[in-house]
């Protein structure tokens, strides 16, 4: 990161010497695509101006399963308790250092996954435009504190994934909304 940042600063200085118009603001951050970066020194989290979780690659490395190989790609679930706990650790480190955090990848555009990400503290999601409506709709009609409680309860019961607990919660929430006058 430091080497890339230094190159960026050199380029900006050169452009300024040449009299070129510079952007009013440039933020330099990093994509977290390997589990090891989540354990980088605190100084790294303090120096980057933002961190974006590259969900597709991160999941592949976290679960040691090639997402392109149909024989193994279904063996991992984004709502796996271990993976969510790992993501919560990243959220915590970013909160501790004030580092803006986002999630980029296919899962950000899946409403149930996006709901769980928001509930654990990842509130900036990068997704395809077609996914915005469904994700926004689910987020607006859900209580993130309740979702967080569902996640924690599933974890406390020793479930491998929170998916079924979240789906039950959403079904119950929908049936309650239908009962309203």
pLDDT tens string for the chain (181 positions)? 999 999 999 999 999 999 999 999 999 999 999 999 999 999 999 999 999 999 989 998 998 877 677 776 666 789 999 999 999 999 999 999 999 999 999 999 999 999 999 999 999 999 999 999 999 999 999 999 999 999 999 999 999 999 999 999 999 987 766 665 5
The residue written with tokens 């915005």 in the block is 132
pLDDT of residue 175: 72
pLDDT of residue 181: 54
Domain coordinates of the chain in residue numbers?
2-179
pLDDT of residue 76: 78
Sign of the torsion angle spanned by Cα atoms 148, 157, 112, 178: negative
158 CB neighbour count, 10 Å cutoff = 7
Q: Considering only CA atoms, which of 90, 132, 88 is closest in space to residue 111?
A: 132
- Taking the model in full, what pTM does it have? 0.89
- For residue 101, what are the β-bridge partners? 51
Q: Which CATH number does 2-179 carry?
A: 3.20.20.60
pLDDT of residue 68: 73
> How many residues belong to the chain?
181
Q: DSSP state, 26? A: -
Tokens coding 23: 């952007």
Tokens coding 72: 């193994």
Q: DSSP state, 23? A: P
Q: DSSP state, 73? A: G
pLDDT of residue 66: 72
Residue 158's φ and ψ, nearest 5 degrees, are: 85, 20
């Amino acid at each position: 990161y430091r080497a890339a940042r230094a190159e960026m600063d050199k380029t900006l200085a050169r452009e300024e010497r040449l009299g070129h118009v510079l952007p009013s603001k440039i933020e330099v951050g990093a994509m977290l695509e390997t589990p090891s970066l989540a354990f980088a020194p605190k100084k790294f989290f303090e120096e980057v101006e933002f961190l974006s979780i590259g969900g597709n690659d991160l999941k592949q490395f976290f679960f040691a399963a090639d997402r392109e190989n149909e024989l193994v790609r279904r063996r991992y679930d984004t709502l796996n308790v271990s993976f969510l706990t790992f993501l919560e650790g990243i959220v915590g480190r970013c909160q501790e250092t004030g580092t803006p955090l986002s999630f980029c990848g296919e899962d950000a555009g899946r409403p149930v996954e996006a709901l769980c990400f928001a509930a654990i503290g990842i509130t900036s999601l990068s997704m395809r435009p077609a996914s915005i409506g469904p994700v926004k709709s689910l987020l607006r009609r859900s209580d993130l504190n309740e979702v967080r409680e569902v996640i924690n309860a599933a974890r406390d019961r020793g479930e491998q994934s929170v998916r079924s607990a979240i789906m039950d919660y959403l079904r119950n929430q929908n049936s309650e909304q239908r009962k309203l006058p």
